[in-house]
Structure 1
């Protein structure tokens, strides 16, 4: 472990109208090429509906296709009319793929003279149609013209959908939550896809410009790959048969500027599609490539999460402030930054030897490359022997335990680190399958192999100040911590010395096979027109290996100028305001650190040997020196050695079978239809890891493994009621579950005995700070710390109940609402706990735990329309808005009282990362070749962690987040679109906090993030 090394840890995680993006005219949910009859085909009599009752398609036969472990072919084709895109009558209409009739305009639609539906209207119409006709409760983001999604990644694109919340770090979405839950499944063209040891792929790794659509399933059906608690998000790519031209070339290029990093970045994608009739049948080939780059730099004012008390020998002044106040034990500034590159590509080959048979091959490559950097400067406010003096203490008015500001003198020196990392992800998926229509039966099969790897290498150069600077600290300056170091010259090299050198290597790998076969059968029974059956098998594994090494060299007092790293440089000031006093300091150039890794390694070995030789008297009792002795052989090697005690392996096989029926009561005079079905999944797994126990300077490896074999029965039933041609109601009841990640199931545990405290200063009493979050008997200095997985974790289970009401009053106008309720059991989160161990005494551990029963309830309301009743150019104005309310609570699993007793009923606490309120609003304008959009998003405060002791809830959280984005495009010719856009225009800082007592709070982080400005073009021929 890295001794005395503080690094910034930021926890970022995560049926209304979809936010439909421009120029989409084919259904995003369509998975079934060739299933829509030709315009002159015969509609089965049992399916025909009176035209006057249809406002936008045949809703009686609305079994909208879903991923269902299948491919991604669309039924409709997109005309090659550039931005003035219309519906291609010869290729289908924007109705679900399995709908047997084409759309028939009804009395509620737009003026019949509006023949061509384009731009925002087309995408809103398509998304609305899919939502209306789908069997499941689903929202869609459609982007049928290549590159029309204005966001960089798929994760950004779903952020505006009702019921979705996102968390960001480093200027991009890192986590997606659906109706308050992060436990969702991701699929690519209906297939399972994952990265490394995870069970899911990261949506931010899918470049938006390469996508055909995103489908957010909020309720499951039996034929879906089993969704997580939150649902399922399917990412859909294009295929050659999506296009009705023999040859199509399309793409887009965009440059962006970040006002925080002051960097320009290129982004682009290019697609080539060919389809041709040959003597052996029709053949289609599509190749698509994408490149996405962004450089970011944030500036963060940081406060420690440890809220400490005064030592017995500290005498704060003025004396009137008393001794009851508490304060963070450290304040810092940090500048995380980096360069991300995401290359990706996909290819599809389709062969149709007969009208009722299609064979296909799909390939996907998904890449991620990041050069990450961070500079951090830490000032310690309590540690030291003797501890620092606090003067000029000012309390927050009306309190005796909350500090506004003070001056710190003495105590420990300040310290800094400059870290550099290189990370990568490579994910490959190959798939082969067929679809065969044999009379009333449709048979399909798909076999896929996925392989993914992730790696990161990190190097950190650490320094300490040669003097202990005086610090003036404010805890509520412009909403957060701020400090200055009066009298300390941060640009004087003589004020710094070498503190240490740290290296880390991490490698994760995952691979797996998956196969499925599905049968869809149309019957002669009017009330049961369709039956579906299927089987699925998967076999995959995931593993992680990690290694670290650290040389702690501070005691040698080596100046920075004596290390041969060249001239020192000033770290970049990325703050937007002047409230923070210290914003830049000296450090070696990053290039010098990376280029001199071997020299730094050899210099570290020499320093450790010198320390061991010069401190023999304390070597037996000094845990740091014992660590140095252990590290010497590892430091001597060229590469960081992967430590078997810092890894795990999981192997898992699943077998699934499902059956589902569609019922339709129209023959009985009732406008009611729906689904009923069940999916049964058997999971067989083995999980292993090597833990380590360090005691008395001796580390012992402990290998552990565990097996699992469990069955999940996941039923679903839904109903759709249509009182009128414009109004419909849905009811759905489903059961879903999410398996724990492999890393969470790791049975290995690491326990490390704490280093002994430093020798006391004569005449100065020693007292350890008491963390007020814990009862008195669990306060003070811990004797050991522990961490690890939990092989006893069980899958998260939810019983879900949904109801929607949807009113569609034109092709592009609707009002929809939804209410939902989730009964949860086993919500997993990392929990901090302390207890008295018979061997170590007071020990503090962190591990994932299943919470008890919980629930999520809420509602969504959304609407969209264009103001076609306005005169002239004002007809181009349109609006879209939605609001979501979520109330999520779960039982805290580790509630204890001061006497060690456990309450009979664990308390309910807020589920981490769930905002109660989420708002989205967008204003459109589209007329005469101009399309523009102004969109606003806000989510209310949420917690990131909970702690409950003595009947008191405390925890950490994030304040409200809001963003404003703008884009505008112009078509000088129909094949070309010019674009300008800007994101995060408000640039309001991210703010997090820690509650250490009820109604007592300190700010944790205040983070300045970048605004992005882009200019680009899209084309299609």
Structure 2
């Protein structure tokens, strides 16, 4: 969804813009006093004689927030966001220097600051989260709510604890920032070139202030709605690697046949396939604020927010299995084998006959999120002291309801496959009639009911005291307490029905239809197959449940010793899915913080210096519970309750210093320590352990068991952070800055598959979150922005904004038995990221062209079971180009148009199966968006 400049359209005074961006950018909740201003502050300029609008206003306000902040930060204000061609808050923040985003299904999701996802999020300087997460899902945040964003890259002691990567604060509009009644908004329509759908969006802002006998009163209400329809296509090759003569498979004696003469053993992915996801997202939101100022020294406010998500999703997958085993035990035959030139152990293409039949599915899902926050606060100044407080309750819940039909082909067709064509595998089913319903067999039915939720209360009190000490003009102290709960529960059941050979067309879901793909001029030969429609599946859920129940009952007669089939009979006997103790966890966590901070100022000759020093002390007390399951080799299992506790104290010092060399030049130096808590799901103590049987000769297996789950022994990610910046402000909207930074960290959390020695099970291979070892991040940033006001005539309307970030980060992998820790690139971190934006703004016309790029990054590391090493998955560099333009047709009415993802570059990653060799993994194609709308202000 695009950010709307609802409250800042048309001519806007500099004074009102500075109200929208507090002088102290940390004071975004209007609950703390502004810092002491210096004589060269922009506040010393007579604001009544200055009027700025549009991009200049936005860039100038954001620049001023950066310039005067106690911390190192970058900011975006609403006018700036409103004129970016972006779909959501995460998209807009990706324009900030040092910020990258991970995109999926045509929208940005995870936000990375300086390459790291460990970012805390606040709303008006208070904690805000989605469901059971610790952070807000920024893609869900409604555009119309935001007045601005602050990305803190170094923390001060009065901030809620930043993550390793920093803190992102979202500010809402306040009614007393507006001088009179205001009605503003936007209506827009968008078109996606892959989904071929038109979607509406809009927001409406109503604000009013009154001067009454009891003081100033302001009220604001904002409505926002965005709908997006998407269709993405992905062709993939599996991450598992096999070979004809047993490399990487369980039973090397069951070899497949290779008829091509002259080729030896070689490697290829175990699977290839297509994956399509189609969906419609609805995001309504309402927020409101009431402010009351009885006098100049007291302000009381109340605010509330409801933001929601409604999704209707359909996922289609078609998978071809190239492993040598098959249902009837007959291995496949490979012919026409071509090896990669210069890599004789790597297949380029071949033909497969026999073996496994291809399998496919259609999953339908309805899901939704509702997040509420209500807050009360005050700010009271008496003499030298300013006391402020903020108290809030947050509740967020996410639910998903999924029903999926599985199918397979009746026989195994001949398949031609090539493993690397324009970024991933392509395949074709030779002589297969995709329109013949007799070729499709029902394979199974899956149902899932998932809910995750969280709530929390929080409160804070802050005292700001002016002193008579020349070098220490202010002292700040405060306390904060919060109490969080989180819950997740995933109940599901599956009926595997392939053994009955029932035709897919015999199900109570009507006539089969060819699915729609999402490719755009792609070389994939096989793209479509028959399935029931989404509506036919969801309208016949109970009939499919009853049919599945009857099917698994019949299968118990054919396979009386199959424990899975017997369990399915029990699970499908009733309409409601049985509760699964292994499918959830609960968490309860309280934190208590106290801080003390001093603001200091002194002179070194002609150089003025100021800054802050302080410490924040935080105690965290948590209780996390779930269930573990142990599956024995004889088919029996045990359910074991699990409870873990953590209690730890963090002492987090910080110091920031700014040297004002001239009115234009300043240098900042900063040091602080951070602790990033593990996610509640990561701390889930539940494990699923499956024991292995001894070999036929009684020999012990390589692994006594395999396991997966959470990790209650995770520790917070700790970091010591060093920052330095050189900043040059040569005009009200022109600046050049350079920053260098270093992070000394330990305990970076990611999922790993590795070997451990368990006291109960022996040597097991387990996949779960782990703390990596010691690591470091070194980096540099540079940014520049200006308008070319010195040029003559229409040329003075041009402007430019550019930034670049370099990152070099490594950490030690979790140790492997018998090996030392290895230093590797940190996952998700790109070495290079840059943004280049060109502006034009003159008279009624404004336009912006934005280019964004991030270089390749590591997705994950995995340990190969048959090779004593780690391998991983890497994503290639990603580029994006967006355009927006507007024309003020009449005063207060502006026509706007955007084009997003002009280049249409695909997402592309590669799976390494040893240190140097890889196969393509995924090629994902996303849509382009075109939008046209009208902004208005009255």
Give the C-alpha shift of residue 28 in structure 1. 11
Deviations 1:347-370 (A, max 9, x none): 111111122111111101111111
| Partner residue, 2:26 | 66
Give the C-alpha shift of residue 309 in structure 1. 2.1
Q: 1:755 to 1:911 in 2, by over 3 A?
A: same
Query: For the Cα contact (< 8 Å) 2:31–2:390, is it kept in 1?
Result: no
The whole-number CA distance in structure 2 between the counterparts of 1:868 and 1:304 is: 55
- Of stretches 379-388 and 476-485 in structure 1, the one that deviates more from structure 2 is 379-388
Are residue 302 (structure 1) and residue 236 (structure 2) matched? yes
State how 1:499-578 maps to structure 2 within 5 Å. 499-578=443-522
Query: For the Cα contact (< 8 Å) 2:14–2:51, is it kept in 1?
Result: no
SS at match of 1:514: strand
Give the C-alpha shift of residue 210 in structure 1. 2.6
State how 1:73-112 maps to structure 2 within 5 Å. 99=37
Q: 1:560 to 1:389 in 2, by over 3 A?
A: same
The one of 349, 365, 371 aligned to 2:306:
365
Give the C-alpha shift of residue 654 in structure 1. 0.8
Query: For the Cα contact (< 8 Å) 2:9–2:892, is it kept in 1?
Result: no
The whole-number CA distance in structure 2 between the counterparts of 1:427 and 1:964 is: 32
SS at match of 2:912: strand
The whole-number CA distance in structure 1 between the counterparts of 2:453 and 2:844 is: 48
Give the C-alpha shift of residue 145 in structure 1. 8.6
| Partner residue, 1:140 | 75
| Partner residue, 1:11 | none
Q: 1:146 to 1:214 in 2, by over 3 A?
A: closer
Q: 1:931 to 1:31 in 2, by over 3 A?
A: closer
State how 1:540-939 maps to structure 2 within 5 Å. 540-616=484-560, 619=561, 625-666=562-603, 670-695=607-632, 696-753=634-691, 784-834=705-755, 843-896=764-817, 901-903=818-820, 906-939=821-854
Query: For the Cα contact (< 8 Å) 2:754–2:816, is it kept in 1?
Result: no
The whole-number CA distance in structure 2 between the counterparts of 1:404 and 1:594 is: 41
The whole-number CA distance in structure 1 between the counterparts of 2:134 and 2:761 is: 36
Are residue 188 (structure 1) and residue 123 (structure 2) matched? yes
SS at match of 2:173: coil
Give the C-alpha shift of residue 844 in structure 1. 3.3
Deviations 1:954-978 (A, max 9, x none): 2001001000000000101221111
The whole-number CA distance in structure 2 between the counterparts of 1:788 and 1:261 is: 36
Q: 1:65 to 1:925 in 2, by over 3 A?
A: closer
- Of stretches 965-974 and 141-150 in structure 1, the one that deviates more from structure 2 is 141-150
The whole-number CA distance in structure 1 between the counterparts of 2:673 and 2:358 is: 53
Give the C-alpha shift of residue 279 in structure 1. 2.1
| Partner residue, 1:179 | 114
Structure with greater proportional strand content: 2
SS at match of 1:671: strand
Give the C-alpha shift of residue 144 in structure 1. 4.4
| Partner residue, 2:889 | 972
- Stretches of structure 2 that go unaligned for 5 or more consecutive residues are 1-7, 246-252
The whole-number CA distance in structure 2 between the counterparts of 1:22 and 1:391 is: 67
SS at match of 2:913: strand
Query: For the Cα contact (< 8 Å) 2:445–2:494, is it kept in 1?
Result: yes
| Partner residue, 1:92 | none
- Of stretches 542-551 and 24-33 in structure 1, the one that deviates more from structure 2 is 24-33
SS at match of 2:794: helix
Give the C-alpha shift of residue 280 in structure 1. 1.8
Query: For the Cα contact (< 8 Å) 2:257–2:331, is it kept in 1?
Result: no
Are residue 476 (structure 1) and residue 420 (structure 2) matched? yes
Query: For the Cα contact (< 8 Å) 2:85–2:900, is it kept in 1?
Result: no
The whole-number CA distance in structure 2 between the counterparts of 1:589 and 1:381 is: 29
| Partner residue, 1:946 | 861
The one of 900, 907, 910 aligned to 1:993:
910
Give the C-alpha shift of residue 100 in structure 1. 7.9
Are residue 319 (structure 1) and residue 261 (structure 2) matched? yes
- Of stretches 710-719 and 349-358 in structure 1, the one that deviates more from structure 2 is 349-358
SS at match of 2:90: helix
SS at match of 2:51: coil
SS at match of 2:364: strand
The whole-number CA distance in structure 2 between the counterparts of 1:683 and 1:888 is: 28
| Partner residue, 2:287 | 346
The one of 876, 879, 890 aligned to 1:959:
876
SS at match of 1:284: strand
Q: 1:589 to 1:948 in 2, by over 3 A?
A: closer
Deviations 1:193-237 (A, max 9, x none): 112211111111112233100110000000001111110000111
| Number of corresponding residues | 914
The whole-number CA distance in structure 1 between the counterparts of 2:483 and 2:437 is: 57
- Stretches of structure 1 that go unaligned for 5 or more consecutive residues are 1-20, 36-62, 76-95, 620-624, 758-765, 767-776
Give the C-alpha shift of residue 643 in structure 1. 1.2
The whole-number CA distance in structure 1 between the counterparts of 2:655 and 2:491 is: 49
Give the C-alpha shift of residue 871 in structure 1. 1.9
Give the C-alpha shift of residue 746 in structure 1. 1.2
The whole-number CA distance in structure 1 between the counterparts of 2:483 and 2:230 is: 38
Give the C-alpha shift of residue 952 in structure 1. 4.6
The whole-number CA distance in structure 1 between the counterparts of 2:397 and 2:79 is: 31
Give the C-alpha shift of residue 842 in structure 1. 7.0
Are residue 1016 (structure 1) and residue 933 (structure 2) matched? yes
SS at match of 2:781: strand
The whole-number CA distance in structure 1 between the counterparts of 2:57 and 2:20 is: 21
- Of stretches 224-233 and 998-1007 in structure 1, the one that deviates more from structure 2 is 998-1007
Query: For the Cα contact (< 8 Å) 1:25–1:144, is it kept in 2?
Result: no
Q: 1:353 to 1:146 in 2, by over 3 A?
A: farther
Give the C-alpha shift of residue 146 in structure 1. 9.4
| Partner residue, 2:4 | none
Query: For the Cα contact (< 8 Å) 2:113–2:119, is it kept in 1?
Result: yes
